[in-house]
Each structure stands twice: as C-alpha cells, then as structure tokens.
Amino acid sequence: MTFEAWGIFALFWVVFVTTPGPNAVNCISNGMSRGFVRSLPAVAAILTQASLFLALSAFGLTALLAASETAFSIAKLIGAGFLIYLGVRGWITASRPVAQQDVNAGGVYWRALAIAVINPKSVAGYLAAFSQFVQPGVPIGPQMWAIVPTALTLTACSYLTYTALGAGLGRAAMGAIFNVWFRRGMAVCFIIYGVLLGASQPLRSV
C-alpha cells in the first residue's frame, strides 16, 4: 500500500468510525453512568469486533454475507430486536441509581460486543475498505500490516473519545432529572437505530 493510498484509507476510516451510531451511543451512555475507567471493557469489545471483521474481510467472508439476502434479513431482524430491547430497557431503568444496574466488566464487554456485531450494516464499511483499498494481485499479508494497525488505532481513539464525552457529561450533570432524561434520550436512540435497521435494505457488494 502506497503512502497516498494509506492516507485515503485512514481518512475513510476516520469518517467510518466517528459517524455516530449504536456503538457511539453505547459508549456515551456507559461513560455517563459508569465513568471512564469502568467503561473501557466496552471499547475493548468494539476492538474485538473490529479485529474479527477485519479478519473476515481479508478472507472474503463479508462479501459472502453481503451477497446473501437471507443472511442479511436474519441478522438485521435479530439486531433490530436487540437494539429496541436495549432502548426499552434503558428507558425503564433510567431512573434507577447506577449501583442497582449491572456494572460488572464482563456484562459491559458482552453487551458492547453484541451491539457491535449484530448490526450487519457495519459489514458494508469493512467490505468497502477491502474492495477499495486492498490491491488485487498483491499478497494480502503485507497490506494487512498497514490496514489493521491503522483501523484499530483510529477505532480505539474514536470510541475512547465518545466514552470520555459520556464521562464528562456524567460529571457535569448537576441534577438527577437531567441525568434521567439524558439516559432516556440515549435509550430512544437505541430504539431509533433498531427501527432503522429493521427497515434497511439488503447489502450490496461495493
């Protein structure tokens, strides 16, 4: 991969991982309710998903998923249902003290991993990256040495920033009423993402 191609890929990935979505909402919500340090397992989960999808993209498996309308339909219905469930649950539990909610690191990690993996639309980003930036006829290994560290570094920076934003909002929330309604706002975002995912069209190869 040339330096120019790497620069274009890095710019693409910045846009891909900084555009607000379910992962960003989850990081903000975690940061606000749990603080920065206790929310780090969620960022680790997103990096796990990114590593997995990068590997699958390198082997061409995301292209197979993108070509299968049945697989897409099943994944999107499961994903939509899960996001809507999280939204409804978040709305109901928003008024409870954080201490009464699940704050264990394992719970934070697995919930974030589920949110990251169940959205089949994220496959489009990885498929786009590999169809546009990987050079055909050149061994994939050396190209991955440029793509993977760049993608994971930018992904980590993005979601650490969203988590810090949430933690900052949590510290700035002077009243319980603001805290409850902000958390309910995050819950509504999950519901909206779930509805949009359920109504989305099958992926097409880029």
Instruction: Please name the residues in contact with 66: beta carbons below 8 A apart, sequence gap of 6 or more.
Output: 72, 123, 124, 127, 203, 204, 205
pLDDT of residue 205: 44
pLDDT of residue 22: 87
pLDDT of residue 154: 95
pLDDT of residue 185: 79
pLDDT of residue 68: 61
CA-only gyration radius of the chain, Å: 18
pLDDT digits (tens, 9 = 90+) for 58-73: 776 555 555 566 666 7
Structure tokens at 108: 């934070």
pLDDT beneath 50, residues of the chain? 99-101, 174, 203, 205-206
* Cα–Cα distance measured from residue 17 to residue 8, given in angstroms and rounded to the nearest whole number: 14
Instruction: Please name the residues in contact with 171: beta carbons below 8 A apart, sequence gap of 6 or more.
Output: none
pLDDT of residue 157: 96
**Burial (CB count <10 Å: 0-12, 13-18, 19+), residue 28:** buried
Are 76 and 120 a contacting pair, CB within 8 Å? Answer: yes
Distances, alpha carbon 113 to alpha carbons 89, 122, 190, in Å: 18, 13, 15
pLDDT of residue 86: 74
